[in-house]
Amino acid sequence: MSETLLVLFRDKTWATLALIEFCRGLGPGVLDATTPGTYGTIRSTLRHLVDSEQGYLELASGESMGDRLAPGENSLDELAARMERFALAWERLLAQPEAAGREVVSSDGWRMVVAVPMAEAIHHSDDHRGHVMSILGAHGFEPPEPNGLDVWGYAIEAGLMTPVDQA
């Protein structure tokens, strides 16, 4: 697969794990907060993001990633551990040059190439991280630092981007 796709998947995981880590420092009242126009509470949005990640990965890889999340509350530690495990599975899939063009069929009867659930995994996680960031902002919390959760922040942290005077 392309280096670009690898960076996108690594960024997706990095940003989600950074957001979960940031949320570990928040109290239950904040984790249960929501704001209009978002998916739900911070807690339910993070759960949905990770659970959906598993579904996209299983569809794309054709492999089971284990039991799905149980309904209800899940600890942030459990969500982070799953994201880390899924990251390894995405890396294995991305190492297969032919994977993106392979055909799969979803459980609801849609035939597609693997590139579709791969793209959706990136889009979906970005969208829901944005929901959590909106809820945090609406409740007076600054976004996670030092570099935020965008690709620039990932690139800096991963050493893919440095100031010219440090090159």
Q: Are 42 and 136 in contact (CB under 8 A)?
A: yes
| Dist CA 151 CA 87 (whole Å) | 16
Query: Which amino acid is present at 79?
Result: L
163: preceding bond cis by omega (within 30 degrees): no
For 93, how many CA atoms within 13 A lie in the half-sphere containing its CB?
26
Q: Which domain, by its residues, includes 8?
A: 3-166
How many domains are there within the chain? 1
Work out the average pLDDT over 64-90.
94
Place of tokens 């993106």: 100
- CA-CA distances (angstroms) from residue 164 to 30, 116, 161, 167? 40, 37, 9, 5
Place of tokens 């284990």: 66
pLDDT-derived band of residue 147, with 50, 70 and 90 as boundaries? Answer: low
Domain holding 147: CATH number?
Answer: 1.20.120.450
Does residue 34 register a pLDDT over 80?
Answer: yes
Per-residue model confidence as pLDDT tens digits over 96-144: 999 999 999 999 999 999 999 999 999 999 999 999 999 999 999 887 7
Q: What is the pTM of this model?
A: 0.93
Backbone angles phi, psi at 62, to 5 degrees: 75, 10
